Amino acid sequence: MAAAIEARLAGLSVVVYEPRPAPVDKACGEGLMPGAVLALDRLGIHPSGRPFAGIRYLDGALAVEHRFRRGAGLGVRRTELSWAIAQRVGSLGVDVVPERVSTIRSDERGVSLPDGRGASWLFACDGLHCAVRRQLHLDRRPRQVARFGLRRHYQIAPWTDLVEVHWTPTGEIYVTPVGEHSVGVAVLGPRGTDYDAVLSHAGALGDRLTDAPVSTELRGAGPLRQPTKDRTHGRVLLVGDAAGYVDALTGEGIRLGLAQARAAVAAVVAGRPADYERDWRRLSRAYRLVTTVLVGAAVRPAVRRRIVPLAVRLPLVYGALVETIAR
C-alpha cells in the first residue's frame, strides 16, 4: 500500500490488488524507528501510537540503553498502521481490487494479470511468502536456522519510554509501548518456540505480565529468513519483505520497505528498473550486515549469552549500532 501512495504522489496511475479488507493485522514488533516515522510523514500517513525514545537490551540483571539522538520512534498497533495507510490510499483515489494475484505474465512491454488487466509495471509487495517471487523463481534456499516470531498484547501501562529487548536462553522478547494502557510483546526464536515458556525465563518481565490481561490472540510469522536471487525480473519489482528478509531482530522492516518503495518508483519513472536493484543493495546493506551478524550470534548459545554483557562494556558501540538502524 505504501508503494501505491509513493507511485500516486509521483503522478503514476495505480491499481492495488489486496484481498484482505483493512485493517490488516500481522505478527510484528510494532515499533517504528525515527526514520520510518519521518518517511510516513512525508507520505501523509500519521498513525496514532505511543512515542518511544530508544532501545534497551536486558539479560537478567544486566541492561544497556541508547536514546535516539534525532527524533523519536513510535509504537503503533499494526492494525492502526494498516488503517492509516488504507485511508491515505483512499484519499489519493487509488483503485483497490479485493483479489489476490498469484500468477502473472510478463514481457518487455508490460505485465498481464489473471483478470485481464495489464500494467506497465508490477510491484510485488505481498510479504515474506511472496507468490509472485516464487512464480518467477527468485527465491533462494536459506542456509541459516529457521526463526519465527510470535506476538500478543497486554493491557498494562508502559513502564518505560524505551523499547525493551530481553535476551533469554531460548528467545528474544520485544516489549513495545503501543498505547496508554497497552504493550505489544513479541518473541523471536527457532521453530517450536513456546511463547509462554520464553516469558517464564524473563524474570521481572514475566512477573510483571503474569496478572496483566491479554488483549489479543497470539499471532505468528515465519520462517523469517527469506533470501532472494534478484529484486527485479523484467517489469516486475519486489518491494518490502517480498524483496528479501533477514530477521526481525533489529526491527527495521517498515523503514526499509518505505525506502524501497521510494526507490522502486524512482526507477520506473526513469525507465531504468536496474537502478532499483542497485539502490536496494545500498539501502539494505547496513541492515543486512548488522542483522546477519546479530542473528548469527543469537543462534549460538556460547556467543548469545555474551551479547548483552558486551554491549554493557561497549555502550558507544551499542549506541552507534542503534543509530544505524534508527535512521
Tell me, what's the pLDDT at 177?
97
Q: Is residue 44 part of a domain?
A: yes
Tell me, what's the pLDDT at 113?
87
3-state SS class at 200: helix
Q: Is residue 284 part of a domain?
A: yes
Tell me the average pLDDT across 197-223: 93
20: containing domain = 2-49+77-143+227-296
3-state SS class at 204: helix
Q: Is residue 111 part of a domain?
A: yes
Q: Is residue 305 part of a domain?
A: no
Tell me the average pLDDT across 148-169: 96
User: What's the pLDDT tens digit per position in 53-90?
Assistant: 999 999 999 999 999 999 999 999 999 999 999 999 99
Q: Which range among 42-51, 154-163, 195-204, 249-258 shows the weakest confidence by mean pLDDT?
A: 249-258
Tell me, what's the pLDDT at 116?
84
Q: Is residue 39 part of a domain?
A: yes
Q: Is residue 201 part of a domain?
A: no
Helices marked H in 62-218 — which ranges? 78-91, 131-135, 195-200, 204-210
Taking residue 319's Cβ as centre, other Cβ atoms within 10 Å add up to: 19
Residue % of the chain over a pLDDT of 90: 73
Cα-Cα end-to-end distance for the chain: 22
Q: Which of 102-111, 130-139, 156-165 is predicted most confidently? A: 156-165
Computed over every residue of the chain, the mean pLDDT equals 92
The yes-or-no verdict on residue 144 having pLDDT over 80 is no
Tell me, what's the pLDDT at 29?
87
Q: Is residue 101 part of a domain?
A: yes
pLDDT confidence bin for 45, thresholds 50/70/90: very high
Here the CATH number for the domain that contains residue 98 is 3.50.50.60
Tell me, what's the pLDDT at 107?
83
Q: Is residue 262 part of a domain?
A: yes
Q: What single string gives the DSSP state of each residue in 83-98?
A: HHHHHHHHHTT-EEE-
Residue % of the chain over a pLDDT of 70: 100
Taking only Cα atoms into account, the Rg of the chain, rounded to an integer number of angstroms, comes to: 20
pLDDT confidence bin for 246, thresholds 50/70/90: confident
The yes-or-no verdict on residue 302 having pLDDT over 80 is yes
3-state SS class at 192: coil
Grid coordinates in use for 171?
Answer: 528467545
CB crowding 141-171: b at 16 or more within 10 Å, else e:
eeeeeebbbbbbbbebebeebbbbbbbbeeb
The yes-or-no verdict on residue 323 having pLDDT over 90 is yes
Q: Which amino acid is at 228?
A: T
User: How far from chain centre, in Å, is Cα 40?
Assistant: 14
Residues 264 and 123 sit within 8 Å (Cβ to Cβ): yes
Tell me, what's the pLDDT at 288?
87
The alpha carbon dihedral of 100, 106, 112, 114 has a sign of: negative
Residues 233 and 106 sit within 8 Å (Cβ to Cβ): yes
Number of domains in the chain: 1
Tell me the average pLDDT across 2-28: 93
Distances (CA, A) of 193 to 46, 123, 151, 203, 211: 34, 33, 12, 18, 22
